[in-house]
Structure 1
Amino acid sequence: MTAILIVEDEPDLQHLLKIFLSKAGYDIHLASDGAQGLQSLQKSRPDLIVTDIMMPNMDGLEMIREIRKNIPKEELPIIVSSAVAPDAATQALTDGYLRKPIMMGQLKALVEKVLRSQAGS
């Protein structure tokens, strides 16, 4: 089963994303900030990460930069979900962007697209 790590500090949205993506057939793991996201990666590597940018403790951008020091983009795709559009540097490190509020249909389509392109590379 394809594993997705959701890194989101808003509990209601985290829960909603987990339910939606679980029903779509994915194995979902959760983290509430970038530091927890990195800890989760040490335990097991997901097939995809969906992360917010603005979070307490360690934000999503810092987490992404840490991940990319060890894991290239080709090996672990990352989708950003944020109310703020990512800058060019963030876009270069990630595989997709969803503007909040997230439309679940757009999320599912982007997840499928990124995973398909990952499988093809």
Structure 2
Amino acid sequence: MKQKEIMIVEDNPDIRDLIGFILTEDAYQLKMCPTAISFQDEIAKKLPDVIVMDIMLPDGDGTDLCRVVKNNPATQHIPVLLMSAHKSELKTETGANSFIPKPFNIIDFKQIVESYL
């Protein structure tokens, strides 16, 4: 059986490491992207099964990136889970499949991600 691939787009290294630790316990293959540019580079190389994306990135806006993913026929099928500490930052009509508030409960986080795999 093919190992599920999750792309994490998070600029905070502590949160990125925590998410990596949580998800590698379950033997998922992870691709970590600290910036919008690194995300764009990586998704052009290989499509993940799920994208977990922070909204506030140093070089871009996760809601805009989500719209790009959801409006592209080649990637629109990929579930996008947006994360933010500020729900007010969530703009409508992003096409995101789910929203994960920060800080998040580890068990809830895993359940949300796994529900899209």
* Higher percent of residues as helix: 1
Distance 1:35 1:60 in 2: 11
- The structure 1 segments of at least 4 consecutive aligned residues displaced by more than 2 Å after TM superposition are none
Q: CA deviation at 1:108?
A: 0.6
Q: CA deviation at 1:43?
A: 1.0
Name stretches of at least 5 consecutive residues in structure 2 with no aligned partner.
Answer: none
| 1:46-99, Cα deviation, whole Å (9 max, x unpaired) | 000000001111221121122223122xx1000011112223312xx1111110
Residue type of the alignment partner of 2:7 = L
Residue type of the alignment partner of 1:66 = V
Is the 2:53–2:80 contact (alpha carbons within 8 Å) kept by the matching residues of 1?
yes
The residue aligned with 1:118 is none
Q: CA deviation at 1:33?
A: 1.7
Paired residues, number: 111
Distance 1:103 1:36 in 2: 27
1:10 correspondence with 2:15: no
1:1-121 paired onto structure 2 within 5 Å: 1-70=3-72, 71-72=75-76, 75-85=77-87, 86-90=90-94, 93-115=95-117
Is the 1:37–1:63 contact (alpha carbons within 8 Å) kept by the matching residues of 2?
no
The two structures have a TM-score, normalised by structure 1, of: 0.85
Distance 2:92 2:64 in 1: 15
